[in-house]
Amino acid sequence: MANLILVIGNKNYSSWSLRPWIFMRYFKIPFDEKHIALFTDTMEPDLAMYGSDTKVPVLQDGERIIWDSLAILDYISEQHLEGKGWPTDINARAFARSISAEMHSSFFHLREALPMNCRKRFKNYPVSSEAQREIDRVKELWKKCRNQYGQQGKWLFGEFSAADAMYAPIALRFAGYDIALNNDEHAYVDAIISHPDVQEWIDAGKVEPEVIELDEIELAPGVIVEHL
């Protein structure tokens, strides 16, 4: 059994869980997973011991409990990666922290209108002007990262960092809802989605039996759904 236990929700839906999971997988930090079936009768008792206000993800490191995705990324970077989970250069690191905090605190319309769903791909999905504004903001941030700091590799800051973990579920959403992308945006979304660990997460999500109605979108006329 590994020292670290990552408590996560349903892989099909839980975008916050994906963030620390892909981060730890990418950096090959060994951990065990504990699965919580979100929005079921067992969720509250199963999460009660962590004091996370019945939310996932939670990281257990021995006696220590860390909850909330961004806090977990910070903790892992500090305790298990000697700070290398963030870009080394201070300008890049400041930018990476800013866009990660923005991901954590913002993009409500995008998150609500385009819930992560590994099992389905939508075409002709209508996007509200509010959600489109947030999609455009994400694209603008990605462009700045790639142009200013990302030349040495395929990730936002060249090397994979906590910022990529924070935006990984957005890449899945852009692909899942067939959001129009230019070549650079496409390349970044592909880099995330084709990563073998992300593929493993998606495959696990697809075969989960649970359906969370709250996270299933209502289909407007003309929307085409592909079941993956």
Ligand X SMILES: N[C@@H](CCC(=O)N[C@@H](CS)C(=O)NCC(=O)O)C(=O)O
Handedness of CA 100, 63, 6, 108 (dihedral sign): negative
Q: To which residue do tokens 């759904």 refer?
A: 225
CB of 178 to ligand X, least distance (A): 22
Number of C-beta neighbours around residue 212 at 10 A: 18
Looking at the DSSP bridge assignments, the partners of residue 67 are: 58
Decide if residue 12 touches ligand X (CB under 6 A): no
Q: Which residue's CB is nearer to ligand X, number 74 or number 185? A: 74
Q: Which residue's CB is nearer to ligand X, number 46 or number 184? A: 46
CB of 227 to ligand X, least distance (A): 22
Using CA atoms, how far apart are residues 173 and 175, in angstroms rounded to an integer?
5
Among residue numbers 188 through 227, which ones bind ligand X (CB under 6 A)? none
Decide if residue 111 touches ligand X (CB under 6 A): no
CB of 162 to ligand X, least distance (A): 12
Question: Which of 6, 11, 12, 15 forms a contact with ligand X (CB under 6 A)?
Answer: 15
Question: Which of 4, 6, 7, 9 forms a contact with ligand X (CB under 6 A)?
Answer: 9
Q: To which residue do tokens 């997460």 refer?
A: 201
Amino acid at 191: A
Please give the helix or strand (H or E) that residue 162 lies within, else none.
Answer: helix 162-176
Binding positions for ligand X, rule: CB under 6 A = 9, 14-17, 38, 54-57, 68-70, 104
